[in-house]
Structure 1
Amino acid sequence: MTEAVPSPASLRSAADRLVSALAAHGDAEYRLTVLKRLARRLGEEHYPMFLRLLAVVAESDDERAKRLLAETFGTALRRMDLPGGALSSWGATRLPDNVTPFSAGALSGQFFGATPRRLLGPVEYLTVWHLQRTQRTPLGAQAFRSALAHLIALLNHSEDARSLYPQKLAADAENELEGAYTRATRERLAAVAAAWKAGRTPDEVAQAALDAVPEQAPGGWVVRDL
């Protein structure tokens, strides 16, 4: 991606607004609606921005904010309705890595055409982005490890998220899901699920994902940070 990287201050401000919006409502279903609305408004090509906002909260010292956000994901997992982003399947490149200036209209159905795609939750998105050929510049191994560790640390603040997400990943790893995942990706999802279920630390879970299969990016690939 080549869009301007938001400043740390702007990311913190956006994350604070997100947490404030969630905290303003006691209804868990409404909180999930707020979270999904944010993901939709950013647009599928800007789903990494959604992940960055989660990371800002994960890296903060605000335990209440972490718990609030994690519990909202717990609600999403109970409903099987995670705020997701889309990545094209193996080698499909009909989407640009960036649209400047950004316009939601540029991501209409006709833009995707017949490119195979499905919405992926945050953990699945990071894994596919790192490992598979998609419309994005691949995510580097260390960026993947860091982002995954922060995400798992955040989600561990909810008992529902900590127990249900590994179950979902394990189920995903057993199915080909209409071609959304390669075999290597499913192996990594299974490794994440097993390490997470076993109660290993977020860093250990992220490392287990990297250790599950050898690096798959062909020589000459350009990789990027989150």
Structure 2
Amino acid sequence: MNESVPSPQALRTAADRLVSALAAHSDPEYRLTVLKRLVRRLGEERYPLFLRVLGVVAESDDERAQRLLADTFGTALRRMDMPGGALSSWGATRLPETATPLAASALSGQFFGATPRRLLGPVEYLTVWHLQRTQRSTLGAATFRTSLARMIALLNRSDDARTLYPQKLAADAQNELEGAYTRATRARLAAIAAAWKAGRTPDEVAQAAMEVRETEHPRDWVMRDL
């Protein structure tokens, strides 16, 4: 991914500490609290580092650690309380809801779409990072595909995550109201959800996302609610 990160050894150490912290508690709700606390301590701008830590566990041969993490995401999905990261929602522009004349001060950075953000789970974050203009440099296609397949393989260790996450993605793909996703992003999320629900392998799910036909050019402007 396109930013400097700690050394591989530092990432392995961080992954070991995370798994140990989760394993120290049998309460799924507390484990979710631990996961969310890590995301909060890293901060919004370092969510990709959190994804890298998850990737270390996903690439390991420690199936117990993988199930532990995946089950914690399953708990998050049941609670609709996903440990998420924020990316700029450039499609979230809308006019202020007022019947009075529009003051110049209303045309803030938020009006022009630079500020609105929503928290995204790991799969949504990777997809938006790859497809949309955000505060980050675009995530390349090869890295997106590899990271997505790895993330799905990890999440598949949990029955709840394997069942509930594609349902969430399918619902997100139908939602045009918040403006967080472009048409191209919604199409990718729908493809991921469909392939995942169908029981295809993580590599096949990632490939299905890559095969979606582009429906809009990155430079296109999408005006909403005008």
Task: Normalising by structure 1, report the TM-score.
Answer: 0.84
Aligned: 1:16 with 2:1 = no
Question: Which protein is bigger by CA-based radius of gyration?
Answer: 2
How far apart are 1:214 and its partner, in Å? Answer: 3.1
Q: Is the 2:132–2:185 contact (alpha carbons within 8 Å) kept by the matching residues of 1?
A: yes
Give the C-alpha shift of residue 172 in structure 1.
Answer: 0.4
**Contact preservation (8 Å) 2:184, 2:215:** no
Compute the displacement of 1:123 (Å).
Answer: 0.4
Distance 1:60 1:161, change over 3 A: same
* Structure 2 equivalent of residue 136 of structure 1: 136
The whole-number CA distance in structure 2 between the counterparts of 1:15 and 1:49 is 11
Output the amino acid matched with 2:71: E
Alignment of 1:54 onto 2:63: no
Alignment of 1:20-35 (within 5 A): 20-35=20-35
Corresponding letter in the other structure for 2:40: R
Q: How does 1:204-215 map to 2 (within 5 A)?
A: 204-214=204-214
Q: Which runs of 4+ in 1 moved over 6 A?
A: none
Contact 1:91–1:134 (CA under 8 A) maintained in structure 2:
no
The whole-number CA distance in structure 1 between the counterparts of 2:18 and 2:143 is 24
Question: What number of residue pairs does the alignment pair up?
Answer: 200
Distance 1:214 1:135, change over 3 A: same
Amino acid at match of 1:117: R
Aligned positions of 1:55-74 closer than 5 A: 55-74=55-74
- Whether 1:178 aligns to 2:201 is no
2:28 touches 2:75 (CA, 8 Å); kept in 1?
Answer: yes
Which residue of structure 1 aligns with residue 37 of structure 2? 37
Please state if 1:188 is matched with 2:188.
yes
Corresponding letter in the other structure for 1:49: L
- Partner of residue 169, structure 2: 169
Paired AA for residue 83 in structure 1:
P
Q: CA deviation at 1:90?
A: 2.1
**Distance (whole Å) between structure 2 residues aligned to residue 17 and residue 156 of structure 1:** 22
Distance (Å, rounded) in 2 between the aligned partners of 1:216 and 1:148: 22
Q: Assess, with a 3 A threshold, how the Cα gap between structure 1 residues 189 and 24 changes in structure 2: closer, same or farther.
A: same
Q: Sequence identity of aligned pairs in percent?
A: 80
- Indicate the SS of the match to 1:178: coil
Residues 216 and 129 of structure 1, relative CA distance in 2, 3 Å threshold: farther
Could you tell me the TM-score, scaled by structure 2's length?
A: 0.84
The residue matched to 1:86 in structure 2 has which SS?
A: strand
CA RMSD across the alignment: 2.0
Counterparts of residues 193-204 of structure 1 (less than 5 Å): 193-204=193-204
Deviation at 1:212, TM superposition (A): 1.1
**CA pair 26-33 structure 1, distance change in 2 beyond 3 A:** same
> Aligned-pair distance for 1:81?
0.5
Query: 1:80–1:24: structure 2 CA closer, same or farther, 3 Å change rule?
Result: same
Q: Structure 1 residue 6: deviation in Å?
A: 1.1
Gaps of 5+ in 1: 93-112, 220-226
| In 1, Cα distance between equivalents of 2:192 and 2:46 | 25
2:88 corresponds to 1:88: yes
- Distance, in Å, in 2 between the alignment partners of 1:52 and 1:128 is 17
Conserved 8 A contact 2:132-2:218: no
